[in-house]
Each structure stands twice: as structure tokens, then as C-alpha cells.
Amino acid sequence: MTGMPAIRLADVRKNFGATEIIRGVSLDVAGGERHAIIGPNGAGKTTLFNLISGRFPITAGSIELRGQRIDALPPQRINRLGLSRSFQITSIFPRLTVFENLRCALLWSRGYRYSFWHLLPRARALNEATEALLRDLNLAERHDLPAGLLSYAEQRALEIGMTVAGGASVILLDEPTAGMSHSETEYAVALIRRVTEGKTLLMVEHDMRVVFDLADTITVLVYGRVIASGPPSAIRADRAVQEAYLGAMAA
Amino acid sequence: MEVLLVSLLNGLVYGMLLFMLASGLTLIFSMMGVLNFAHGSIYMLGAYFAYESTRWIGFWSALLIAPLLCGAIGAAIEIWGLRRVHHNGHIAELLFTFGLVFIIGRSVQMAWGMLPMPYRVPASLDFPLFTLYGLQFPAYRGFMLLISAGMLGGIWLLLKRTRVGMIIQAALTHPGMTAALGHNVPLVFTIVFAGGCFLAGLAGVIGGNYQSTEPGIADAMGPIVFVVVVFGGLGSLAGCFIASIIMGMVVTFSVVIDASIADLLRPIGIVPRSDDLLGEILTVPVARIGALLPLLMMVLILFFRPRGLLGTRDT
């Protein structure tokens, strides 16, 4: 892991029509670190996630995952190379049960692909792995509940679980604590800390307590450009950041 | 009484046939957002393919060959057609499938002409299954029920119990998340589109000799299947099933009901005059407006329940 960054963005640019949303972002995320991206609304944080995870093609530049170019690959290929993401808008499958949701996240990594002829109830190893993960997420009691009926905090926990389930070593979380109460946020932070142990975490987050609590490195994105990147103490002291972002929050 | 029972059975046969078409259409619609206008045309192709393979090889192999051909055509349409058009948005996709209707329709007319083909029920199934109050129920209709019930079971097993079914269900609501979990969503789309066309082809095989095999059947089946999908609700196979059966019953029963709205009003003392427009409308027997009823039901459900019976999204 040492030496080569887990994710490397080099002068990444993205235009939507004539509008340049990402204007030359270069960023290294070291293997094993917890890295937060902050910035005001419209800075392009979620767009950056969509570029890294292959949802949108980039306009220029390059994106590498552990030294391998991924910027021309479709989302599923990037996932199979070991990068998994969550979405800002909760994207669990509301009609499937909690158990089925998690199992869906495990299917590919456990080698169950598009076979029609094997029946899932008989895939014992897969089902046991799913059960274990359910207990790990404290969702075992919700086993057969359609995921759409979970409480909001539980849905977010499930989504975090689905994101890490496939065993990816690089995890991207898009505002995992958005819309949560104080105690829910604390629980979510503890969960994120636990399930991303030993993995590389890149997260977009608005809650500054969460950011300064969780992140080893913080990158500040403003209008599609990185204006600062470094350890929390340096970011807190950075004048440009205070002016562009934190100052506005404090006021 | 005997009319009621026989009509119930016939309604069930027709409803199940509708479901074979509508199930594929509703899956394609709710997953890809593509309203496949050409679904009825694929049904027609299934009937013609079945006629040809029955001529050369026999009915039982047609039962497999025709749906497979239709599935292959569906896969080709998705890979080389819809995927390219997709970038230009839903209107482009809609127009694309609309164009397919004409291409397939004209091709069929050029290959087989305008007249109905003599595609007949196989001799081994051409006998009365049982006699009910002196009315015979053909064995072939029983066979149609068997095939469509088997398909219903197969689809249910596929979606609920297999891996690809699980992925299809996931991609129904959140294709983005499904791709982010490592699943090849474009491939799932192709599988679903081809699968839907396979089912439409199969419906064509068993429906072609039940109704008729002529260029008009695409236009006859297309709208009513669309009505079923809207009526049942997007994204819901259960709703689609219920709607298919209801629609089968409505169409079948409306043919045998000789009464009119005026007959309903007469016992409460209202006798419409027969020489004005309203009176004429009220005295038309239901049997004559049978073809109108499904469309009327669609308009009503769009007014009062835009999500359809069991749908999760607005149409």
C-alpha cells in the first residue's frame, strides 16, 4: 500500500455542455487513509465522486486506482477492481428485504454472477456471509423487512454496509450522515470507523464535527478547484479556507 | 350460467395471453424507462415465425424456435438500436420503437402478404377437452393456459429465487447503485429486453392460431397490452397480472353482454328517448362497444389512480 496512492487524480476536468464543473483537480489519496472532501454547495464534490466511480466520463485528465487507469471504465468494472461507493440520495432497493439488499451487494464479489440455473436459497456460503454482515450492522432483527420500511438512519447504515460488503479496499461515501440527528450521527461515525478499518476511505461530508473527528486528511473544493489539502489542523488554520468556507460557517 | 362459466374460462385464457405480453413490456418499461411500442409487432413476428416453422418442422419445435428468434431480434434491437438512441433521451427512444412498428409491419406484409396465414392448431391438440352444459372447451385453450401458467411460475422463480432475478429487481429501482455494486447493468438491460421479446414471441406462437395470423394483429394487441401495463401500475408484476386477468375478463364478457346502459336505467324508471344523441349512446349494447372498454378503463384509472393498481411510480 505504501508508496503508490490508492486514488490519484491528475488534472481532472469535467464539462456539462459549455459549463466547466470540475476545473483541473489533482488529488492523491494515500492507501489506508481517511480522506474527507469538503466545500460549499455546487463545488462539484458529488460530481467528482461520479467521475471517480465511472458514472460520468471525464472530459480531460486521468484517474488511477492503485496505479491503474480507470477513467474510461464503466462503473461495474471499477467496482470489481476494488472501489465501492455510496450515494448522496439513499439508494437501497426499497422493495427487496434488508437481507436481499445485502445479498445483492455480495453477489458479484462472491463469484455468483449471472447464472440462471442456481437457486439462491441454496447458495449457503453466500447466505451465511450475508447473515454475518447483517449481525455486524445490528440489522439482524430487520432481516425480512422490506428495506424501504427501515428508519432513515437504518437505511443509511444498510447502505454503508452494502458499500463495504463486496470487500472493496477503497470506499467512497457521499454524505453518509446527511439529515441525521446528533445521536444518529455518532452511531454512523462509529459504524463507518469500524467497517472501513484498514481500508481507504474518501468521503464527502458537510458536518464539520464528523469531518474533523474522522478524517486524516481534508481537501477543500471550491468551484471545481482544490484550494487546500492537508491534515485537519492545517486546514483549520488555512486563511483561504476560512475565507471561502469555514468563515462563512462560523458567522 | 353456461355462458358465464365458458366466458370465465375464455377470459382467463385471453388474460393469461395478455400477461405474457404485458409482463415483458412492464419489466422493460419500469427498468429502462422505454415504452416499447414494437412489443405487439414482436408478438406478430412470433406468430409468423411459428407458422413457418410449423410448416417445415412442426408445431412443437416452433414452440421453441419462434420465441428464440424473437428474443434474438430483441437483443439486437437493444444492443444496436436502443443503446445508441438512449443518449438522446426518452423521446428519441419512443420514436425509435415507434419506427420499428412500421418497419416490422411492412416487412411482414412484404414477406407474407396481407391475407391471414393458415396457421392452425396442431392436430394432436385439436379435440374438445371437456363438454360443459353442451358447450365444448377446446383442448388447445387448456394448452394455452398450461403454457402461460408455466411462464408465470418460471418468471416468478427467476425473479425471486435466482441471482440474475435479484439483480433485475435491484436495477428496477436503482440502476446506478446496482452498477456501483459491480453488476453489469447494460447487460441486464439486454437480458430483460431480449427476455421480454422472447415472451412476446411465445405469446405469438400460442396466440397466432388462437386468434389469427395476419398483419393486423400487431395493431390489435399493441394498444390493449399498453392499457394493461398502465392499469396494473409501473414496476409491479403482480399489478400487471391482475390487470391482465381483469382485461381478459372485460373483453370476453363485453362480447356476450347484450344489455345496454338504458336497460340498467329502465328499472328505476328512466327511459331514454331513442331519437336524440344521448338516447342513442345509452341504448348501444355493451357487445358493440367491447373494444372501447379497455381504453375507457385506462382513462378512468389515469384520472382516479395515476399509479395504476399496484404501481409505485406515476405513469
pLDDT bracket for residue A107 (50, 70, 90): confident
Does some domain include residue B6?
A: no
Give mean pLDDT, residues B196-205.
95
pLDDT bracket for residue A118 (50, 70, 90): low
pLDDT value at position B51?
94
pLDDT value at position A112?
67
Does some domain include residue B11?
A: no
| Contact residues, chain A, for B191 at CB < 8 Å | 114
pLDDT bracket for residue A115 (50, 70, 90): low
Give chain A's domains with CATH numbers.
7-92+150-250 (3.40.50.300)
User: What count of other Cβ atoms lies within 10 Å of the Cβ of residue B102?
Assistant: 12
Does some domain include residue B5?
A: no
| Contact residues, chain A, for B186 at CB < 8 Å | 74
A216 and A231 Cβ atoms separated by less than 8 Å: yes
Q: Does B174 touch chain A (CB under 8 A)?
A: yes
Q: How far is B105 from chain A (nearest CA, A)?
A: 33
Q: Is the pLDDT of residue B200 over 60?
A: yes
What confidence tens digit (pLDDT) does each residue in B65-99 have? 999 999 999 999 999 999 888 888 888 999 999 99
Give mean pLDDT, residues A3-28.
90
- Least reliable range by pLDDT among B112-116, B118-122, B207-211, B279-283: B279-283
pTM: 0.83
- Find, in chain A, the residue whose alpha carbon is nearest to that of B183: A76
pLDDT value at position B314?
47
pLDDT bracket for residue B312 (50, 70, 90): low
What domain count does chain B have? 1
Q: Is the pLDDT of residue A116 over 70?
A: no
What confidence tens digit (pLDDT) does each residue in A46-73 have? 999 999 999 999 999 999 999 999 999 9
Q: Do A96 and B170 touch (CB under 8 A)?
A: yes
pLDDT value at position B27?
86
| Contact residues, chain B, for A120 at CB < 8 Å | 161-163, 166
Global ipTM:
0.82
Q: Does B164 touch chain A (CB under 8 A)?
A: yes
Looking at per-residue pLDDT, the higher value among B162 and A59 belongs to A59
Q: Which domain holds residue B89?
A: 18-304
Count how many Cα atoms sit within 13 Å of the Cα of residue B286 in the half-sphere of its side chain: 18
* Mean pLDDT of the residues in chain B: 87
pLDDT value at position A163?
93
pLDDT value at position B47?
95
pLDDT value at position A167?
87
